[in-house]
Amino acid sequence: MDIGREMRTRLQVALTTAAGTTPEIEFSGCVSGEVYIPTGATTTTLTWHTAPDRGGTYIAAYDSAATPAAVTQTVAAARAYPIPVALAGCPFLKCIADVAVTVDIVMKT
């Protein structure tokens, strides 16, 4: 009997440097995920934005620390990074890169 079964969704997403041009990622129902930065990418920072509805107005996501900060990640080529825990429960996401890059995103439900 397989009680540890989970569903995974894999997307290839072309990240840009602006929320208006980066695609939406439906994250509702997901509990975690990973972002895979390709070999040769020059991207070093990802900043996450969220909206309550598909096509909604996206705003920077903030963590819940005593001094809140935007949810950002420092990244490097040929590495995989978890989608930040602070984004759990966000229904829709956009990931903004400091340099445009196409990444693979795997989400787990």
Output DSSP code: residue 87.
G
Q: How far apart are CA 32 and CA 101, in angstroms?
A: 21
The answer as to whether 1 is a domain residue is: no
Predicted confidence band of residue 48 (pLDDT cuts 50, 70, 90): very high
**Looking at the 3D structure of the chain, how many domains does it have?**
1
**Cβ(105)–Cβ(34) below 8 Å:** yes
91 phi and psi, to 5 degrees? -75, -35
Find the distance separating the first CA and the last CA of the chain, reported in whole Å. 19
The larger pLDDT score, comparing residue 88 to residue 99, is at: 99
Q: How far apart are CA 25 and CA 94, in angstroms?
A: 6
For position 1, what pLDDT does the model report?
47
Domain coverage including residue 27: 8-108
The answer as to whether 12 is a domain residue is: yes
- Candidates 45, 37, 50; CA nearest to 86 is 50
CATH for 76: 2.60.120
Q: Are strands 72-74 and 25-26 parallel, antiparallel or unpaired?
A: unpaired
The answer as to whether 50 is a domain residue is: yes
The answer as to whether 3 is a domain residue is: no
Q: What is the CA radius of gyration of the chain?
A: 14
The answer as to whether 2 is a domain residue is: no
Which 3 state secondary structure label does DSSP give 91?
A: coil
* pTM reported for the whole predicted model: 0.88
**57-74, pLDDT tens digit by residue?**
999 999 877 677 889 999
